[in-house]
Structure formats: structure tokens, C-alpha cells
Structure 1
Amino acid sequence: MGGLGVRWKVHGDGRVPAPGAVVRPDERLSWPRTAGLGAQHVVAMFGASFVAPVLMGLDPNLAIMMSGFATMLFLLATRGRVPSYLGCSLSFVGVAATIRGQGGGSAAVTGAILVVGAVLVLVGLAVRKFGARVIHAAMPPVVTGAVVMLIGFNLAPVTAATYWPQDQWTALLTMLLTGFAVVCLRGFWSRIAIFLGLVAGYLMSWAFDAVFGRIHSPDASGRTVDHWRLDLSGVGKADWFGLPSVHGPGFTWPAVLVALPVVIALVAENAGHVKAVGEMTDDPLDDKLGTAISADGVGSVLSTAFGGPATTTYSENIGVMAATRVYSTAAYWAAACFALLFGLCPKFGAVVAAVPGGVLGGITVILYGMIGLLGAQIWINNGVDMRNPLNLVPVAAGIIIGIGGVTLKFTDSFELGGIALGTLVVLTGYHVLKALAPPHLKAQEPLLDEGTSAYDEPEADGGKG
């Protein structure tokens, strides 16, 4: 079993890492300490992992349980060399909202995401065979950043029209508290800031109901009525122990086409995670990139086959490893086991499902914006110059199409719009324009001072006139 990464050497005395040392993936501390670290990983991934299914209209109990199974599968596939937790992906929240807006249900949502997971498996296999260069050739940073950006910013109308109006004052206070937690808290607490903001908003909603009574505003269905901010009626009816509800996926072309662009974001997430872990553990993991991408894809297929959301590697857990200097995959096995136990408690799922709309409004204002701005961070990290028309034109068009919800109607029953059309414009537009552009636009010019451009048409005298 050691070849599968499920056998570990005890690090030092099993208590704490030695000064300046780290606990490597194939090492562990004592089992009680390892279990404690696993619980810490669960808390770190918990906020985003239960916000994601709530925003997508899926069962949070099932989502947490399937994240545990997916993590186990990932650790086995990578043979214990890539410490990672596969939490619930937020990249599909906009996809779910779009599919439901088109009249699709949970089956259509999970079916579309299952197809994306299967494509991710194929991408991982291609990377294993041809190397990471196949990703860089098809999806250069200018394209990847643009797609991640439009996936995040495409969600803005969901916050503005659905969540925020349900309780604008709770939404505003939740946003302010969450922002404070993200910026001002340190260490581990800053990494669960979204979770802390959500808990604070939950308690505020309970207090406002007790003090002010019902609120007259739109409810979750959009009807303006008197309703409680926090409705816990479902919690009392839920059992303490039981299996989460499952459903099979459904497949429709419009839903699949809306979801497919997210493959780009998932590849970028996995590549960034593997690179970061390799640097932190001083173990180059380029040879495991394809395996990691495929394993994430299989985890997503497994989860969505039973009605759960997609999975992805979680940066929140990288933060825990950096803070503790413990990279042991044993801690992730412990975290996965805890997640399975959470999934067997329907009462917990009912508490999660009761998160008030106003609270989600305050959280998502920050969360969706952060997702979108990760695209800009990809550009910055890779030195993408938006003064180059080759980069600027397809990105500008694609982002406006994606965020604005522009549609292209082909027949009465088929149209492309939003994320799908925006991604298509960025991806195909960049490669077509690159093939047609003059050589000076394709050259890797050094970045110049602000206000100048290396991309003007060269003059006859060499541009020094």
C-alpha cells in the first residue's frame, strides 16, 4: 500500500516539526495530532464547500460527503505525492444560475457539470502524454485569465437581483464584516474569513428576526411578501443521521455548452495548485500535473453522478499547510473521513440550507468579485500586456459578452450566450487573430513605461523617427 501513498513514516517525535523542518507528504505526526490537523483542513475548506452547493441549489450534505470521496480518490491517484483537498468548486455557480434561468433543474445542472468533468479527465490524459505545453499552447494566460474573469463577473446579476434584495441591510453588514475579516484577521482566521462572515450574518438574521419581526421583501422565489429572514423550520424536521438525497444527472446540449468553458478555469486551478505544492514541499510535481487534472475530473464525475457539485483543489488548504508546515497526506485522509461523517447528518445539511438570502448577498458581493479578479491576477503573474491589440481585442469583446449576457440565436431551440459565448469569442478570437496578425504584434516585446506602446506599426526608419 506504500506505493499508493497510504503508508507514512512518523516525523521526529510525532509531536511538532523540528525547527526549520517540514512534515513531508509521506510522513505524519502522531495519529491524534494528524486527526486534529484533518479537522483543521475540514474547517478551512468548509466555508466555500457548503456555500457552493447552496448557491447552486444542490444538497450540501451530499456535496460535503462527495468531496471526501473525491479527496480519497485524488490521493490514491497521485500516490500520496500531491497533498490536496478536493472541495466543491465555485466555478460552476454562474453555470448553475444560467441553466436554472433557462428552465433547467438540478439534473440538468449536474449533467452538464459531469460532462465537464469527463472533458477534464481527457485534458489530464493529454497532459500526461504530451506535457504541460499542450495547455499553454491551447490556453495561454491571456485566454485563461479572461475566462476566469468572466466566470466570476457573470455572477454579478445573481447577487444584485436574487440575494441582496431579500434583506439589504443584513447583506450590507455581512459584506462589511466579511471584508474586515478578510483584510484584518491573520493566519488561519483570515483563511476562513468567508465562513466567519457567513456565520456572523446567520446570527444577525436570527437577532433581527427576534427584534424586528418579519421583513417585507422579495423571498427566495422572488415574490415580495412578509417572511422570516432565517427560517429554521426544516432543521427540526431533519434527522440526526441518514444518507443524503441523491439524483441522477440529465443531459441537454444548451446546458452542456454553458458549462464547458469552465474546463479552462479548472485546468488553471489545478496547474496553480500543483505548482504551489511542489514549491512548498521542494518536490517538483510537473510529472503529476496530468494525473492531478484527471483525478480532479474523475472526482467531479463521481460527485455529479449522484447529484453533487464538481470538485476542485482548494487553495484554502494550501494556507493551512503553509501555516502548520505539515504537508502530510495522512491529514487529508483524516479530513476526508470527517467530511464523510458530516455528510451523514441531515440536520447539519438543513442548517446549511437555511442560510438567509441577505447573508448570501453580502458574501457573494465579495466572493464573486474575488473569483473574477483571479483572472486579472493570472494576467499580472504572466506579464500579459493589454496594450497589445492581439490581447486586448478578443478579451474586451469576450468579457463584455460574458458579463452582459449577450446571446447569439441560431434556431428557436438553440442559442449561445453569457459564459459560453464569451469564452468562445476569447478562445477562437485570440487564436484566429494571432494567425493573421503582423509579426510585430506576436513578438515578445519588453514592457515599456506607462503611456507608451511597443505595438504601434513600425515606421520606415525603424520606428526611431
Structure 2
Amino acid sequence: MPTLWTLHGDGKTIRPETVVSPDERLSWPRTIGIGAQHVVAMFGATFLVPLLTHFPPSTTLLFSGIGTMLFLLITRNRLPSYLGSSFAFIAPITAAAAGHGMAGALFGIVAVGILLAIVGAVVMLTGTGWIDALMPPVVAGAIVALIGFNLAPTAVSNFSSSPLVALITLAAIILCTVAFRGMLGRMSIFVGVVVGYVAAVLLGAVDFSPVAKAAWIGLPAFTLPKNPFADGSLWALLPVFLPVVLVLIAENVGHIRAVTQMTGKDVNVLTGRALLADGISTTIAGFFGGSGTTTYGENIGVMAATKVYSTAAYWVAGIVALLLGLSPKVGAVLNTIPSGVLGGATLALYGLIGVVGIKIWIDNKVDFSKPKNQFAAAVALVIGVGNLTWVIGDAKTGISLSGIVLGTVAAIVTYHLMNALGRWRGAD
């Protein structure tokens, strides 16, 4: 049975040096406000993936909300996280849909979810020792950092689409953070997005016509995956999708390491449950026409900015996402948020993710005078920032490995190879 939350102090104020732990909460109005920030933070990226893959956005949003609540239940309400659309699925979905349609691509998503759930179950049985050995602090920090920095081009692209609106949003976030104390300062991201949105409306950059056409209440479109036992050609899609599992493992482990680092609470023991939960969420989403899920870096940025790690806020975000998925009208309103506003917010959020990775190095006193640490971090970060892509096989149907997965593999292989060679020749 999940534990509930204790009230942090009086529920209204937070001392500058303190954090709101996962098992604590603020007053419900303040918790709802923090939850709203998480909704805003995840919204743009969660909608972007289905828009790029031509999946129904409302369906994806609905199952991201359901997946978030399942995640909180399976991790016993101890690990704050939002499960949004994973960018790692974009390339394989595009390749699969070209030859097998959306239903064929959904088979690949389901396969990834099942395998990830199996990995989670194995971790729960065997413990996290092998993951800790596989990903020491220098590797974990590199993975967290490259996840944030790999997203930088998306933030820059959104920012460039409307520089003035984006700059107003970013300035409002920064000014709110430094000018106000208490909850208003901690809700700077939400305030900044509201200010940016109002500016966009005044500048005539918001089109409300889709809102007028949308219904208030309605189910999103559902699509079932193709049956691989009826269509044997679907099995050929597995090599295209299975590398995504490595990305999801890296993102989940990176998220858990970041939460541990930011809260001071060791939640690494929940790694198996987190992987299992993400696997189940991805599987369910794939069965009904939603995109695969992952722990969201955007929400790490919100927690880093607010110092509020309460899982209660994520329940709010999950419930809101579910309701938005059932309300085309409300979803249409939120979908009018211009990319420039999202660009201003994500420019700060993605950078904060990268800084969290660097903080892991600092807090664990990673010795960068050692070549194995230097090269593991250096190679991984350049691959992640440059979004190096390696296509194995045909350009359209082959396996495409890009920034996050290649950077993760590079960090792991480089560190352990140099570590083994160093021990072989008697050096550290």
C-alpha cells in the first residue's frame, strides 16, 4: 500500500535551505500549483512526439497520465516522476510506420515495453549492484548531463521560432526566481509560461480557432497493434525497436540518480520497480495507440528549480493529464501555447538537467585527473550534444542509434575498457 504524505512544516512556507521530500507535501492549493508546473513542463514534449509520428496527441496524453499514476503506485509513492512521451521512439516509429502503418509501429512499442518490464523484474530479483558497477558516478553523471544537453537543439529551435516571446518567458522565469521568495519564487517556471503566453496573445501569435471547434468531453482515438503471429513480417521490426530499451534504462537510471542527488534520499533501491513501471506503462500505451513513455527530464528541471520533490504533485499532474486527454476542448487550449513560450521555458529546464549531471560529479568527488574519467565524460558529452547518429543497415529500415543511446554506450564502454586496461597494467 503506498504511503501517504506528511505535511511539510506548516504547509505554506519553505525555508531556503530545505527541500520538500517525496513523502511530504505542501498545502493542497500549493501542491496543485506545483503539479501545474509539471503539467506545463511535460506538455510540449509529450505532444511533440505524437505530432512528429502522426499519433493522436490526446491518446498519448491520456496514457502518459495513466502511466504516471501506475508508476507512482508501483514505486510505492516514493519516487517522484512524470512519464511522458519518449523521443527515443521517434526514429523506429517512423521507420516501422512507413512499411507497416501505425498498427505495426505499435507492435514495436509493445515489444519494447515488455522487454523493459522484464529487465525491471530481473533488477528487483538480483538487486542494483550490477547497475551500480556498470554505472559509477562518472558514468551516471555523464548520462544525466547528456540527456539534458541532447535536448538543447529542441529548446533552441522552439526559442528561435519566436525569439521575443521566448525571451519574455525566460526573463520572467529568471526575474521571478530572484525577485520573489516563498512559493511564488518556486513557481517561477509556471509564472514565466503564463507571462509568455499572455505576451504571445497580445502579439497576436495565438490561434484560438481550434479551441472553438473542439468538444468539451470526448474519448481520444484508440488503435490496436498488429498481431505478429498473424503477420510474421512484423518480427523484422524488433531490431529497429530493441535499442530503445537501452535508452529507457539509461533515462530511468539517470532520473533515479538525479532524484537521489537532489533529495539526499537513497531511492536507488527503487530502480527495478521504476523500470518495471515504465515497461508496463509503455506496454499499455502501445496496446491502445499511445506513444512509449519514459521518466521526464523536463520534470527533473522543475524539481531542481522548485526544490519540491513531493510525489503528491505528480499525482496532480497525472490526474490533470488524464482529464486533459478526455477533454478535447481543454487540450486544444493548452495546445495553443506557442513554441516560443515553450522555448523560453525549456532553455532553462534542459540546462538545469545538464547541471544536475555535473552536480553528481561534484558531490561524488569524481577525480577528473584520471584519464578513464576524463574520456568517459568527454566522449559521451560530445556525442550527446552533437546528437551523433549511427545507422546500421539501410537508411530507411535499418537500426538508427542516436545521441542519448550512443552517448550512454560510449560512457559505459570507455570507462570500463580503460578501467580494465589500467588494472591490467597495474594502474588505477
Q: TM-score, length-normalised on structure 1?
A: 0.69
8 A Cα contact 2:59 2:325, kept in partner: yes
Counterparts of 1:290 and 1:260, CA distance in 2 = 14
Q: What are the within-5 Å matches in structure 2 for residues 78-89 of structure 1?
A: 78=75, 80=76, 82-84=77-79, 86-89=81-84
> For 1:261, what is the secondary structure of its paired residue?
helix
Counterparts of 1:26 and 1:408, CA distance in 2 = 42
Q: Cα–Cα, structure 1 residues 101 and 231, in superposed 2: closer, same or farther, change >3 Å?
A: farther
Q: What are the within-5 Å matches in structure 2 for residues 383-462 of structure 1?
A: 383-413=365-395, 414=398, 416-438=401-423, 443=428
1:353 aligns with 2:346: no
Cα deviation for residue 119 of structure 1 reads: 4.5
> For 1:384, what is the secondary structure of its paired residue?
coil
Cα deviation for residue 438 of structure 1 reads: 4.2
1:175 aligns with 2:144: no
Counterparts of 1:208 and 1:87, CA distance in 2 = 32
Question: What letter matches 1:69 in structure 2?
Answer: I
CA-to-aligned-CA distance 1:45-83 (integer Å, 9 cap, x gap): 2222323313324555445533442344334434x5x34
Quick one: which of 205, 209, 215 aligns to 1:233?
A: 209
Q: Which residue of 1 aligns with 2:154?
A: 158
8 A Cα contact 1:67 1:311, kept in partner: no
Q: What are the within-5 Å matches in structure 2 for residues 273-352 of structure 1?
A: 273=259, 279=265, 288-305=270-287, 306-312=289-295, 336-352=318-334
Segments of structure 2 that go 5 or more residues without pairing to the other structure are: 13-19, 227-236
Q: What are the within-5 Å matches in structure 2 for residues 182-261 of structure 1?
A: 182-209=177-204, 229-247=205-223, 253-254=239-240, 256-257=242-243, 260-261=246-247
8 A Cα contact 2:169 2:341, kept in partner: yes
Question: What letter matches 1:384 in structure 2?
Answer: V
1:73 aligns with 2:55: no
8 A Cα contact 2:372 2:418, kept in partner: yes
Cα deviation for residue 332 of structure 1 reads: 6.8
Cα deviation for residue 291 of structure 1 reads: 2.6
> For 1:297, what is the secondary structure of its paired residue?
helix
Number of aligned residues? 398
Question: What letter matches 1:386 in structure 2?
Answer: F
Q: Which residue of 1 aligns with 2:17?
A: none
Quick one: which of 260, 263, 267 aligns to 2:253?
A: 267
Counterparts of 1:374 and 1:335, CA distance in 2 = 22
Segments of structure 1 that go 5 or more residues without pairing to the other structure are: 18-22, 210-228, 444-465
Identity %: 34
Quick one: which of 94, 101, 120 aligns to 1:124?
A: 120
Could you say which structure has the larger radius of gyration?
1
Counterparts of 1:400 and 1:150, CA distance in 2 = 8
Counterparts of 2:183 and 2:359, CA distance in 1 = 22
Counterparts of 1:359 and 1:28, CA distance in 2 = 29
CA-to-aligned-CA distance 1:362-416 (integer Å, 9 cap, x gap): 2222222222222212222222222210111132122222322334454333354
Q: Which residue of 2 aligns with 1:52?
A: 45
> For 2:82, what is the secondary structure of its paired residue?
strand
Cα deviation for residue 318 of structure 1 reads: 7.0
Q: Cα–Cα, structure 1 residues 440 and 196, in superposed 2: closer, same or farther, change >3 Å?
A: farther
Counterparts of 1:332 and 1:168, CA distance in 2 = 31
Cα deviation for residue 43 of structure 1 reads: 1.9
Counterparts of 1:61 and 1:264, CA distance in 2 = 27
Counterparts of 2:256 and 2:107, CA distance in 1 = 22
Cα deviation for residue 307 of structure 1 reads: 0.8
